[in-house]
Every structure is written in structure tokens, then in C-alpha cells.
Amino acid sequence: MDDAERAAARGTARALRRAALTASAAAAAGALAEVAGQIRVARAARPLTDRWQQVPVEPRGRARLGISFRPLQAEALGLDPMATLTALLGYPFQLIRLGAYWDRIEDSPGRFDTGELDRQVDAAEQAGKQIILCVGPVKTFGYPEFFVPGHHLPEPLREGTLVEPAAHPSLLDAGTAFAARIVERYRGREAIVAWQVEHDAVDPLGMEHSWRLAATFVRQEVAAVRAADPTRPVMMNGFLPTSAPVRMQQWWRTRDQGDSLAVAQQLADIVGVDFYPRHALVAGAGWSVYLAGRITALGRRRELLHWAAAGGQRLMIVEGQAEPWEAVTTPPSPRDRAMYSCLPEHVIGNYSQCMRWNARGGAALDAYLFWGAEYWILRQQQGDPRYLRAFARVLERA
């Protein structure tokens, strides 16, 4: 190579480095722009409107509609759980999800009291609803999502760890025994159409519980439920990230074994998706910072729909956001105001967005369960029936 060729080569190398740096900067700028585009700073409490009456209601196709019922959330909102459930069961939806909360059923050694759950199952059955029963055992839907009785866990699970069978054999034995016992008690009920095993099975809850169940732990729980009732499907659910920051955080925290949706695809007969498009990060002085994701830009949704369509797998929205997710545990309910993270029109808008997935992804959703029904009852008691009326409008027009 002569001097001219070497100079040309050096010039080409410099040009390639500049191009690479430019491309990297462009990619970083694009990622930052994506994140910035999903952040909103907004006044948290908004004046009430009747926009929910104009939001288009997409047809549901073959999807069953329904709700999840959380007795603990009803109590946290100052409501009577059974009265709340009775009021909700009067609406013409098809499917309800109930939970067997381990520490409420077995609150002391040798005690096994399913009276509360019996009454819920009886009421749903008499109202003609189909039931998905979450048998836990470690995690069940509804904050704090962790319901192991203290006598089965003398020491708290260590934060940041993976809960594996070899390290926690007594918890696994007690948990599988509880789940099997619940299944055996209710498997004679024709209204029950599926069992849910764990809730967001292998994901951490958040800062409160950073430990995670190992997939091998959950696999044994699923096996115990199938052995107790081989005739009904097992449903497992997971959180679908709707913004870039949440997507990146979820990947980082579950990168060793995959997230709950990935594990559900491996172990369950039905995969349930948690869909929350808008939630608050921090709040102060009446304002909040929100993540408001654009789900249409995310590949994970398309991947799930194509997977379900290709293999004839069952896919449902098991938690469709229909109550506020603010920067506190219990959603605020200010009089004459509604919270920005979920206004009444979002009850319909979130539902319709998911129904539009059917045509795009080639897979028909099996069901859509609205999340937040107890909150609607509270709002109605406070003089605001808009959330309940938005739900009723979906049931009427879908």
C-alpha cells in the first residue's frame, strides 16, 4: 500500500468513525425523544366532563367482558365488600375474577376459613357469571399482591433475591398444598372456567417487594393446580409495558429468566395481559409527572398477538385500566374532579384501543376485564356516576 492509499484508508476510517458516532448520537437522541414524548406534567385533578359519552365503543367480537373484584380494595375505599360486589353483579357482563387470599383464609395455624370466598363465588354464580379464580398462593391481584400467612414465613423474603424451590422448600410445600386445597374445594362449581396461578408471577411488585419468584417455583405450583383439576385451563398474567422507561426497567429486572408474560407463554393455557397506559410517577402541589405510553409503537403487543394467532393460543386483557393510578396506593377521589391518569372517558378509550388490536394482530382476544370496579362504586356514592355509566355504555354498545 503506497502513501496515497494509506491516506485514503485513514480518511475512510475517520469517515466511518464519524458516521458511527453520528448514528449513535442519532439513536440516543431518538431514544431520549421517545422517552420525553411519553412524559406528561399535568394537573392531577381535572374538572368533570361528559366526554365519555362521545368516545367510540369498539365491538367486542367474541371477547367476554367483565371485572376483577378486590374485597381489600373495597375496604380501603370505605365500602362494604359484599354490598359492592352485589351492586356490580347487577351489570350484564359475562366474566368476573375472584381471588383466594391466603392470609385471609388461613390466618392462623390449623385454621382454614373460606366463608368470605364462598359468599363471593355463590353471589357470582347466582348472577350467572363465569369465574376465573386466582388461587395465588404467594401473590394474588390487589395491593400489596403478597398474601402469605406469617406462620408460613417466619422471616421475610430477602429483597432483591430470586425465590427458588431449594431455598424455600417449606413455602413451596405450603403454597402448593393451599392452592390444591382451594382447587379441590371449588372444582365442582360449573361457573368456574379457569384457575389463575400467581399474579404477575415472576415480576417484582416494586420498591416494596423487590424479590421475585423463580420460574421453577411457579412451575411446581402450576403442576399442583393441574393435578388437582386436569379439566380446566390455567391462566397466568403479566404486565405489558406501555412506555420506554417501564419497558427498559422491566427487562433489566427480569433479564435472567424473562418476565411474567414470557413465563405465562411457557406454562399457561391462557395468557392474561395487564394494560395500564397512563400512571403517575411523582406528585406535588396538585401537579403530577405521568408516563403516558403509546402502545401502538411497541413490538411486544404485536409479538403477543402474532404468537396467539399462529398457535391458536388464548389471550385476554385481564386488567384493563379503568381507575386512576396516581402516586399513592389508594386512588384519590376528589369531589367534582377526576384524576388525570384515568378519566371516565379512558374507561372506554382503553377498552376500545385493545379491541382494535384484534384486527391488527390476527388474534381475537378471549376476554377484557376492567380494573377498578370498586372505585366506580365509591364515585357513585360521592355523586359521580360517570365511571359506572361509561362501563354500562361499553356493555350496551359493544
Q: Could you report the per-residue pLDDT of 228-251, keeping only the tens digit for each?
A: 999 999 999 999 998 888 888 899
Of 120, 95, 235, the closest CA to residue 186 belongs to 120
Entry pTM? 0.91
The mean pLDDT of the chain is 90
* pLDDT, position 362: 66
Taking each helix axis from N to C end, the angle separating 81-89 and 115-126, rounded to the nearest 10 degrees, works out to 20
Beta bridge partners of 289: 41, 282
The packing angle between helices 344-361 and 386-397, to 10°, is: 30
pLDDT tens digits for 279-302?
Answer: 999 999 999 999 986 654 467 888
Confidence at 25, pLDDT banded by 50, 70, 90: very low
Separation CA 303–CA 339 (nearest Å): 32
> Do the Cβ atoms of 343 and 384 come closer than 8 Å?
no
Length of the chain equals 398
Is residue 206 very low, low, confident or very high in pLDDT (cuts 50, 70, 90)?
Answer: confident
Q: To the nearest whole percent, how much of the chain has pLDDT over 90?
A: 79
Q: Is the pLDDT of residue 23 over 90?
A: no
> DSSP E strands: which ranges in the chain?
39-43, 45-47, 64-68, 95-99, 130-134, 162-163, 192-196, 212-213, 234-239, 270-275, 278-284, 287-292, 314-321, 337-339, 367-371
